[in-house]
Amino acid sequence: MAHSRFNGGGSGACENDSVLLDRDETRNRSAKVQEDEIPRPENLGPQVIVSPDTRREQRIPPGQSRTKKWPVLDASGTPSVDPLKWRLRMEGLVRNSVEWSFEQFQTLPRQQVFADFHCVTRWSRLGNLWEGVSTRSLVEAAGGVLPEAKFVLAYGYDYGWTTNLPLEDFLADDALVAFSHDGEPISAEHGGPVRLIVPRLYAWKSAKWLSSVEFLAADRPGFWERNGYHMHGDPWTEERYDG
């Protein structure tokens, strides 16, 4: 199956959980530093989907530490993705393959999600407000999945990067394909113009620079999964690495 790629550096960034390069904060022009108080969901409007993990008494999973910053770890740089050329495709075991341009994508029904964000490299940023299109809405636009679909493989524009996850996690009520973070467009360093957000798994499962999603009958390991990362990635049971 062919997937277009844009110019730019290789696999992942902190949200795809490479540990190869930690960029200096001064290089991240979109750096956002939170207040000391942990953001909580109580004052959000009814239109916001609240990820259930944000209602836990203890919001930081085992082995994690809170950061108030918005770190970027990068394997080899950020790909250059022109929004005018960006496309998102749903394919595989769906009733109808469908593709959106960035302009078309922005006309779809929007959803806000309040969620925590857990990097496998042991930091957590609590209380993020994402806006985008729910994964359920995108699947509905493709006519739904076929009965044999059990998994998805998400593709990024960064040189063939992929990650796998169960269909039930992809279709969770707090999962979305996002274009905004805390009221601002998602920067290129953090996966913009559009990235996947699956809050209840480690953040490498939230594919940056999302280009397509393939629906599968059998699980297929993605880039980091082929290199020793866990096939599932639940932060609450520390599913960091296989073995």
- Taking the domains of the chain in order of start, what are their residue ranges? 14-23+48-237
Q: Residue 51's pLDDT is what?
A: 98
Average pLDDT for 64-68: 95
Of 23-27, 96-100, 139-143, 208-212, minimum mean pLDDT range: 23-27
pLDDT in tens, 147-156: 999 999 999 9
Q: Residue 9's pLDDT is what?
A: 34
- Contact indicator for 210, 192 with CB cutoff of 8 Å: no
Q: Residue 73's pLDDT is what?
A: 66
Average pLDDT for 40-46: 89
Q: Residue 75's pLDDT is what?
A: 54
> What mean pLDDT, rounded, does the chain reach?
88
Average pLDDT for 78-105: 96
Q: How confident is the model at residue 76 (pLDDT cuts 50, 70, 90)?
A: low
Q: Quote the CA–CA distance of 189 and 203 in Å, as a whole number.
A: 14
Q: With CA atoms as reference, report the closest residue to 205 among 242, 243, 175.
A: 175
Q: How confident is the model at residue 169 (pLDDT cuts 50, 70, 90)?
A: very high
Q: How confident is the model at residue 221 (pLDDT cuts 50, 70, 90)?
A: very high
Pairing state of beta strands 195-197 and 176-181? antiparallel
Q: How confident is the model at residue 31 (pLDDT cuts 50, 70, 90)?
A: low
* Higher local confidence (pLDDT), 76 or 123: 123
Among 3.10.560.10, 1.10.287.990, 3.90.870.10, 3.90.420.10, what is the CATH number of 14-23+48-237?
3.90.420.10
Q: Where are the beta strands (DSSP E) in 94-209?
A: 98-101, 111-119, 123-134, 151-156, 162-166, 176-181, 184-185, 195-197
- Contact indicator for 72, 124 with CB cutoff of 8 Å: no
Is the pLDDT assigned to residue 123 strictly greater than 60? yes
CA-only gyration radius of the chain, Å:
17
**Token reading at 16:** 């795809």
Q: How confident is the model at residue 23 (pLDDT cuts 50, 70, 90)?
A: very low
SS3 of residue 240 by DSSP: coil
Calculate the alpha carbon distances from 237 to 51, 144, 200, 221 in Å: 18, 31, 11, 20
- Percent of the chain scoring above 70 in pLDDT: 85
Q: What is the pTM of this model?
A: 0.87
Q: Quote the CA–CA distance of 128 and 28 in Å, as a whole number.
A: 18
